[in-house]
Amino acid sequence: MKRFSAPRAGIRRKPLSLLSLPVFAFLVVPTLIVVPVALNNSRYITFPPDGISLAAVQGFFADPAWTSALSASMQAAAIAVVLGVVFGASAAIGLHGRKFPGQQAVVGLVLAPMIVPTVVLALAFYQFFISVGLVGSIVPIGLAHAVIATPYVYLTTRASLAGLNPALVRSAQSLGAGTLSVFRHVHMPVILPGLISGALFAFSVSIDETVMSLFMQSPGATTLPVKMFTDIQFNLTPKIAVSSALLVTVATIGLLIQVVYVLKRRSTARMMPLAA
């Protein structure tokens, strides 16, 4: 199968890769600077570092204010990933291969959280959760994150469904499969890569989200970015750099999972829909 020859041919073009190298460096280096800063042997944020030590890292994990922020972020992300995957995947499967009046409007609605400015959403969620009395916990933040994570899962799932032969659904039905069996045996194998990358997107969207979390923060429901943002105004502790480094690490791990997964799928069986 010749499907993957095209990207490789692109890399071989030397002049283009020489040009893209500085762009790549510009994108990545500032992000990576937080790592030496986090390992700095100083009580303040400084660069270049004076010496290397794990003091700041240890300090971060010894400080309950920072660890509870980390845990709040993880809880919000867990809610966002689970709900985002369920909503996004359901929307993608439900809208797949169908045509009905107003379909574009429904798609627009699903994608809206990507387009609406976060600060508008933040204000809306803030007022909504106050009016329903759901404040003072991580739940409203997680729910809000789920809303902005859903379009990402929808898009990645929709992309993987594009290769699905609609006759597969019909043939499974004719063979006696109910809705759940059709999902398990027809949709699931096809959308799994889309679901995984969608879940990773949802996770990083939630971990990174600051504005809504700031609006809805409360004691015990302060996420890591919010804690960083509020702290940086008062003291330049290297713990901020530690949390940044932590987020970079988490993002890198997520990316690696995806790369490994994709490579594994390519080397083993490629799931090619027949006669797509």
Partner 1 sequence: MSTPTIAPTARQPGTATARKGAIELRQVRKTYGEVVAVDRLDLSIQPGEFVTLLGPSGSGKTTTMMMVAGFEEHTSGSVMIDGAPVDSLPPRERNLGVVFQNYALFPHMSARENVEFALRMRRVPKAESRRRADDALDRVGLAGLGGRKPRQLSGGQQQRVALARALVFNPAALLLDEPMAALDKRLREHMQEEIKALQKSLGISVLFVTHDQDEAMAMSDRIVVMKDGRIVQSGPPEEVYNHPVTDWVASFLGDTNLIPATVISREGGEAVVDLGGLGAGRVRDRGARGDKYAVSIRPEHLTFRVAPGRENSGTGELVSSTNLGATIRHRIMAGGRELQLRELSSNGGAAGQPAGATVHVGWDADKAQLLVLEG
Q: Which residues are CB-contacts of 91 (< 8 A; sequence separation ≥ 6)? A: 110, 150, 154
- Measured from the CB of residue 3, what is the shortest distance to partner 1 in angstroms? 12
Q: Do 238 and 47 touch, CB atoms closer than 8 A?
A: no
Q: Binding of partner 1 at residue 172 (CB under 8 A)? A: yes
DSSP per-residue letters across 161-194: HTT--HHHHHHHHHTT--HHHHIIIIIHHHHHHH
| 55-94 footprint of partner 1 as x/- string (CB under 8 A) | ----------------------------------------
- Measured from the CB of residue 190, what is the shortest distance to partner 1 in angstroms? 8
Q: Binding of partner 1 at residue 181 (CB under 8 A)? A: yes
Would you mind telling me the total number of residues written for the chain in this entry?
276
Candidates 44-52, 113-121, 153-161, 173-181 — which segment interacts with partner 1 by CB under 8 A? 173-181
Q: Binding of partner 1 at residue 272 (CB under 8 A)? A: yes
Q: Binding of partner 1 at residue 183 (CB under 8 A)? A: no
SS3 label, residue 221: strand
Of 199, 189, 174, the residue nearest 254 (C-alpha): 199
Q: Binding of partner 1 at residue 165 (CB under 8 A)? A: yes
Q: Do 186 and 164 touch, CB atoms closer than 8 A?
A: yes
User: With CB under 8 A, what is the number of residues at the site for partner 1?
Assistant: 23
Q: In the complex with partner 1, which residue's Cβ is closer, 78 or 168? A: 168
Residues forming the site for partner 1 (CB under 8 A): 165, 167-168, 170-178, 181, 185-186, 189, 269-275
